[in-house]
Amino acid sequence: MTAIYARQSVDKADSISIALQIETCRTALPPEEPTELYADKGFSGKNTDRPAFQRMLSDVQAGRIQTILAYRLDRISRSVHDFTGLCQTLSECGVQFRSVTDGITLDDSLSGTVMAQILMVFAQFERETIQRRVTDSYFGRAKSGLYLGGLPPFGFRKGETVWNGRRTACYVPDPEQAAQIPMLYETYVRDGASLGTLSRHLTATEIPTRTGGAWSTLSLGRLLRNPAFVRADAAVFQYLSGKGATLNDPLSAYTGVHGCYCYAPRSPHGGSSRKFTDLSHSFVTLAPHEGLVDAALWLEAQRKLDRNKALKNSGAGTHSWLSGLMKCAKCGYAITVVPRQDGGHYINCGGRKLGCCPGRSRTMTLEEIEGAAEPYVLDFLRHLEHASACEKRMPPAEAVQLESQIAVQERELERMTQNLALVEEVDVVRLLAGRIHAAGQRLDALRRKRDALLYSAASPDLDTGFSSVLNEWQRYTIAEKKQIVHAILSRVTVSEDVLALTFLGDADQVSTSCV
């Protein structure tokens, strides 16, 4: 059977659609040829972590595919390392690969393999060049103080201006929201005020967020941290610099007039929730707009925020062994336990306190929740091989040595990849391609070894202790149960009548009725 593989990273007018790729490949086959379609839409070619591609590889290894057709070589991959590994897999399985528009056939012939390797090098260089161009353009505009897009924060709306001789979008005060900004800072710096009391005040006075929702301590903290609001002067320059931010403008430019744009790299999981809290990798530049808050008031708020950094809910509650883990399914806020006069307990969520959660249709008791969760907790413990969590450790000397080896291997891999593009001799190209693949495997092995050192192995005498956990569970105190449960559970989501338990290291949830 022949497999037709198609990939489209983005749906743009000038990109080759999935349908066109498939149709082009079909025309290169006899009409009676049996085919199987594999298509990945919305995935880049930087790696092979794509569902349809992985499904195709499984079929290759199962012997169900004899030939793979693709519209162009870069539809398969833009990584030399990944493509070299694919070549080896196809060769071992006796599968032929054809790139229709490139005219490349990857089989046992040396010429086809070498040509494919060379084209793949250029495909990877093209991807990396595009990435560098986008990044350089982004930070080039940022250094010029130009607006880079996105929604303005609460207090501003989008306008236009001329900045450094160039027309650009900018922040301008929102007629209704801007007047609230100084009040927020002035209220927060007062003795006894907190993010919680201020967010409740905003909700009670029906002042919505920029998107029309209710305020939370997180959204309010981000607003107060944002340097877009401050009329930045020399003291602000010193504060931002001391926090580790890279400042685009000299100290003399901080004249107490303009606000600042702050750009931070996104996390590996996407988003930048610590954008204004951790400035160590941030880039700050003066913006065209005038700030809304005096520097002294803004800095006073920063110092208070620095003193009162929000801590993750540690589950310090004494009423339940699920304290610190329970979240409301409707609003996402933490659930707390409230004692009743009859000795029982009911639950309440932060969203209800802020007036942004409709709550549940009936009052749920803590006893119902614990009773529903306990069988699943004990069942999970029965399937554990060890009862105690491994302690994180990293021997300093070995860690430094491994990181150094990884850095050397990364540089070597990059050097060999660049050299491959300069070589014309067929034998040398084939030799370098093999070395690139081997270097990639060595790099992966070093990384796995480093990661393995992050956790020490559990002690072999833990089996006895594990059995005692199950036997003594009913005799444990709330504090002792909590210590065990916090080692295996990451979250307990409470909805109307259903409880969803998320165990550490498990992407799936276990749901059970609370009724």
CA distances from 220 to 202, 210, 305, 383 (A): 10, 11, 11, 43
Considering the domain architecture, whether residues 202 and 228 belong to the same structural domain is answered as yes
Q: Is residue 265 part of a domain?
A: yes
How much is the pLDDT for 109? 53
Residues of the chain with pLDDT under 50: 110-111, 267-273, 310-314, 385-395, 454-465, 507
Residue 342 sits at φ, ψ, to 5 deg, of: -85, 5
In DSSP notation, 366-432 reads HHHHHHHHHHHHHHHHHT-S-SSPPPB---HHHHHHHHHHHHHHHHHHHHHHHHHTT---HHHHHHH
Q: How many domains does the chain have?
A: 4
Helix (H, G, I), strand (E, B) or coil at 262: strand
CA distances from 261 to 153, 171, 288 (A): 11, 10, 9
Considering the domain architecture, whether residues 192 and 82 belong to the same structural domain is answered as no
Considering the domain architecture, whether residues 241 and 303 belong to the same structural domain is answered as yes
Residues 6+ apart with CB under 8 A from 65: 1, 2, 3, 36, 56, 59, 95
Whether the CB-CB separation of 372 and 326 falls below 8 Å is answered with no
Structural domain boundaries, residue 446: 396-452
pLDDT in tens, 214-240: 888 888 988 999 999 999 999 999 889
Q: Give the gyration radius of the chain's Cα atoms.
A: 29
Residues 6+ apart with CB under 8 A from 1: 34, 35, 36, 64, 65, 66
How much is the pLDDT for 455? 39
What letter does residue 207 receive in the DSSP assignment?
-
What letter does residue 339 receive in the DSSP assignment?
E
Angle, CA 99 vertex, CA 97 and CA 100 arms, to 5°: 130
d(Cα 460, Cα 274) in Å, to the nearest integer? Answer: 40
Q: Is residue 146 part of a domain?
A: no
Last residue of a domain, one of 109, 140, 171: 140
The CATH number linked to 281 is 3.90.1750
H or E element at residue 111? helix 110-143
Strands (E), 42-95: 67-70
d(Cα 156, Cα 249) in Å, to the nearest integer? Answer: 23
How much is the pLDDT for 139? 61
Considering the domain architecture, whether residues 277 and 332 belong to the same structural domain is answered as no
Q: For residue 272, how many other CB atoms are within 10 A of its CB?
A: 15
The residue with tokens 């409301």 is: 328
Strands (E), 414-497: 489-494
Angle of the 80-93 helix axis to the 51-61 helix axis, nearest 10: 30
Q: Is residue 164 part of a domain?
A: yes
pLDDT in tens, 470-512: 777 887 788 878 878 887 788 888 887 788 888 765 545 566 6
Last residue of a domain, one of 92, 107, 140: 140
d(Cα 87, Cα 151) in Å, to the nearest integer? Answer: 46
How much is the pLDDT for 142? 64
Q: Which two tokens stand for residue 386?
A: 């060890």
Q: Is residue 433 part of a domain?
A: yes
Torsion of the alpha carbons at 43, 44, 48 and 50, rounded to the nearest 10: 0
Considering the domain architecture, whether residues 91 and 186 belong to the same structural domain is answered as no
Considering the domain architecture, whether residues 364 and 402 belong to the same structural domain is answered as no
How much is the pLDDT for 507? 47
Considering the domain architecture, whether residues 35 and 105 belong to the same structural domain is answered as yes
CA atoms within 13 A on the CB side of 82: 19
Q: Is residue 317 part of a domain?
A: no
How much is the pLDDT for 163? 81
Q: Which two tokens stand for residue 147?
A: 């607006």
Of residues 290, 324, 293, 269, the one with CA closest to residue 490: 324
Considering the domain architecture, whether residues 61 and 203 belong to the same structural domain is answered as no
